[in-house]
Chain A
Amino acid sequence: MAEPALAALDQVASLLGLSEKSAITAHGQIRLSVPLQELPQKAQRLARDGGARLASVIATDERRKNGVFGLRCVFSLDRFGLFVTLEAEVPGAEPGYPSITPGVPAAHAFERENWEFFGLVPAGHPDFKNLLLHEDWPRGLYPLRKDSSQGTRPPRASGQSFHFQRVEGAGVFEIPVGPVHAGIIEPGHFRFSVAGEPIINLEIRLGYVHRGIEKLAEGMDPAAAAGLAERVCGDAAFAHALAYCQAVESLAGAAAPPRAQALRTVFAEMERLYNHLGDIAGIATDVGFAFGAAHMALLREKVLQQNRALAGHRLLKGVAAPGGILKDITAGQSSDLSSFLRRLSEEYAAVERIYLGTDSLMDRAEGAGVLPRQTAADLGGVGPAARACGVDLDLRRDHPYGMYGELDFQVPLRQEGDVAARMLVKMAEFSQSVSIIEQALERLPQGPVMTPVGRLPAGAALGWAESSRGEILDWLEIGREGRIERLKIKSPSFSNWPLLAWAVRDNIVPDFPLINKSFNLSYSGNDR
């Protein structure tokens, strides 16, 4: 075990008052079993005093094995580059446990989700209600339990209601928006409470594109499920596939060959490039600055076409697979990509100057949708949205994977937390991504791009990747037959949607689309 890991283990064990013996370290993570009743207090100590960040909460149905539900809280110790998992058992009959949300607010959505899908009741949860399943879903049917089969077509329930948070007072109105919108975007319902134009409260209701991907994964051949993982979110297809593949490789104890690691880094950054260009274009579209938007969108299209030339797919689907990648590039393609990036950087710099020089655009972006640093940190925000308000985390640097550990790059950080800061962070990341790809191409090792993974042993492992929106964290458990027992996918959008509701407070209604666009969260990634 590496030196920092030992130091971290020491620290965590003394913090939680546990003996080191109760810890299992495997697959780059520390796993600690804790009694269920002590879970909230231990989680709070870890988060508050240990500086750990709650990254995911995973429930599993183990009633057939030992009559209990498993509950795992995955924390990230970003400074040590380690994940710490607190594991507890929830009784199989009348499953309930003390909520950890009061001490660790980032757990709120996870606990609501685990109630809907497993029936685990978090006692003392401050906002206990449905998250993804709607009023027509029958109560008492928990789809991720093992006794609920994949083919279940539940009857439509009626008579249930959902209570939006109510704001009362003279002149306070509610504006319901969606789930069907005027533009061609994904469905989501937004309930604004406003006094005139200023927004007092916003409640966001998602779940309209829940496809049951985690349920579908159960029983699948782990080699085939990469194709399922990349369908979680279309514009993060490669990052999702990568996170999943790394979980498989971690379990198998088989690392992808160096050339595959380098090319994965290249493709992951190409994905970030087109997403960031699209996001920056979206800011201009939403403030009606069509000139800037048209030029950014053109650059995004060029990256997509380059992706197709490189990998045969504009959105890089079908490229990553457990054990490596399915698509090698030739020396000619590599030099084409280098010259493409040089042209792209020049063209991008010109358009960026237009953005920063257009006062009417910057005036809209500056000061709009300010997200306080503490809110982002408390709610577990990730990615550019968190980095734009001073929360310094990036899996590529903190938990290096692929070739990132060998490369030289910066993690852009800003403190303002407004729309402009989120845009500027993405602008700075654009240049970093170009530099990362150039470095990876320069050092591109020779050799195979695929290593056989073989049959997976039973066990569980984490896999992660930093997508353009932030942290993707997959928890993969393989059963005794070598098939997937449970796949829990935590997308960055799941972490960041709650931030949006806070960022729009005290802003005016017509600024909401702009603030929303500056986060540009995925509905399907959140709903899965």
Chain B
Amino acid sequence: MINFAAASAAQPLALILLAPLINGCVKKLKAVLQNRRGASVLQPYWDILKSFRKEEAISETTSWIFRAVPYAVFGATAAACFLVPVAAAAAPFGFAGDLITLVYLLALPRFFTALGGLDAGSAFGGMGSSREVMIASMAEPALIMALFTVGVETGTTQIDAAARILSQGGWTAFSPGAALAFAALFLVLLAECGRLPVDNPATHLELTMVHEAMLLEYSGRSLALIEWASMIKLTLFLTLLANLFLPWGIALEAEAAPLALGVLVYGVKIAALLAVLAVAETSTAKLRLFRVPDFLGAAFVLALLGLLSQGVLRLGL
């Protein structure tokens, strides 16, 4: 008998610690798809470590906000990890928040990053913040709609409970509404995590940047925290996709066998999602900035359709 509380407490820590590895895997996969050798999957760890060791330069024109941003961003993102089930359908702080809390915990870092971009007063930071907020204003409704589709389907906004209910439902849990919401959430992931075709995480062109433009003034430990938080955010979104839409195999009780199976299945699901992400990013060019609203509009409509069809099917509206 394994202590279920202990097992579930390990989950958020695993998310936080494994996030760089997952990012390293995306980069590696993309490199292989481009016929390149690519850096080691462990490279993001070295990058974070390197930044932690470096001296930090802070512009004299900044206020306290600039210095507070990295901690607020990392703190809020790490807190969000405590609400999401990973290998077992349990979240250690599930009692403290639900899907709605999660959405806000994800919005908080964005708000602070945008402030940090503006605070240093450089032209690029302001541009990045303005673009980020424009994108967020359209990604957030789609995110909420997609998550509510699951809420309507399971009758709860508790994420661990939803995963448990869906998993117990077996194949019958699969519904057209969920499929639409899954697609919507994937598009939102691309926008929220600064992936192609919305933002190019590998670009050096400061004029095209969205997320990176806001971070240009950061260095050292602050940069390490923000970059780490972005990696966690991607991992978090992938985990949501895996556990809210493909929940089968998640451990429902604290026995060694189901937990081992849960971990294994989680790994397979994340690997599959990473492959989809890498292929999607490799086969497409970045959208013109003013086309991004169309892209997110599509995500919103998908999520709305998902929610409506769920409503029709489940509630008989």
* A binding-site residues for B, Cβ under 8 Å: 173-177, 181-184, 197, 284, 286-291, 294-295, 298, 358, 360-361, 363-364, 368, 508-513
Contacts and interface: CB of A to CB of B under 8 A. Distances in A.
A513 B207 contact: yes
Contact of B289 (A177, A183, A197, A289): A197
B165 to A, nearest CB: 38
B205 A182 contact: yes
A76 B227 CA distance: 56
B272 interface: no
Contacts of A512: 207
B204 A287 contact: no
Classify chain B: how many residues form its interface, as a range: 20 to 34
Interface stretch (B137-145, B234-242, B278-286): B278-286
A295 B36 CA distance: 10
Top-7 shortest CB links A-B: A288-B286, A183-B204, A288-B200, A289-B285, A287-B285, A294-B34, A360-B285
A291 B284 CA distance: 9
Contacts of A184: 204
Contact of A291 (B34, B124, B127): B34
A177 B200 CA distance: 19
A294 B204 CA distance: 16
Given A175-B123, A290-B30, A360-B284, 18 more contacts: A173-B123, A182-B204, A182-B206, A183-B205, A197-B289, A288-B200, A288-B202, A290-B34, A291-B33, A291-B282, A294-B36, A295-B34, A298-B35, A360-B287, A364-B287, A510-B289, A513-B207, A513-B208
B25 to A, nearest CB: 17
A364 B282 contact: no
B225 interface: no
Nearest to B126: A173
A511 B127 contact: no
B203 to A, nearest CB: 7
Name the prevailing secondary structure of the B interface residues. loop
Contact of A294 (B35, B203, B286): B35
Given A183-B204, A510-B207, A510-B208, A288 B196 contact: yes
A363 B287 CA distance: 8
Interface string B27-48: 0001001111000000000000
Nearest to A181: B206
A182 to B, nearest CB: 5
Nearest to A509: B207
Contacts of A287: 285-286
B227 to A, nearest CB: 16
A279 to B, nearest CB: 16
Contacts of B288: 363-364, 368, 508, 510-511
A472 B36 CA distance: 37
A109 B286 CA distance: 36
B290 interface: yes
A287 B199 CA distance: 10
B127 A509 contact: yes
B197 interface: yes
Contacts of A510: 131, 207-208, 288-289
Interface string B98-130: 000000000000000000000000011001000
Contacts of A286: 205, 208
B281 to A, nearest CB: 8
Contacts of A363: 285, 288, 291
A104 B280 CA distance: 50
A294 B131 CA distance: 28
Which of B35, B131, B284 has the largest number of chain A CB atoms within 10 A?
A: B284
Given A288-B196, A509-B127, A358 B285 contact: yes
A360 B285 CA distance: 5
Given A176-B123, A288-B200, A361 B285 contact: yes
Nearest to B206: A182
Nearest to A287: B285
A73 B287 CA distance: 45
B197 to A, nearest CB: 6
B255 to A, nearest CB: 45
Contact of A290 (B123, B204, B282): B282
Contacts of A183: 204-205
20 contacts: A175-B124, A175-B127, A182-B204, A183-B205, A184-B204, A288-B202, A288-B285, A290-B282, A291-B282, A294-B36, A298-B35, A358-B283, A358-B284, A360-B287, A361-B285, A363-B285, A509-B127, A510-B208, A510-B288, A511-B289
A75 B36 CA distance: 49
Contacts of A289: 284-286
A175 B125 CA distance: 11
Nearest to A293: B34
A405 to B, nearest CB: 41
A386 to B, nearest CB: 25
Given A294-B34, A510-B208, A364 B289 contact: no
B285 A508 contact: no
Given A294-B34, A509-B127, A510-B289, A177 B206 contact: yes
B28 to A, nearest CB: 13
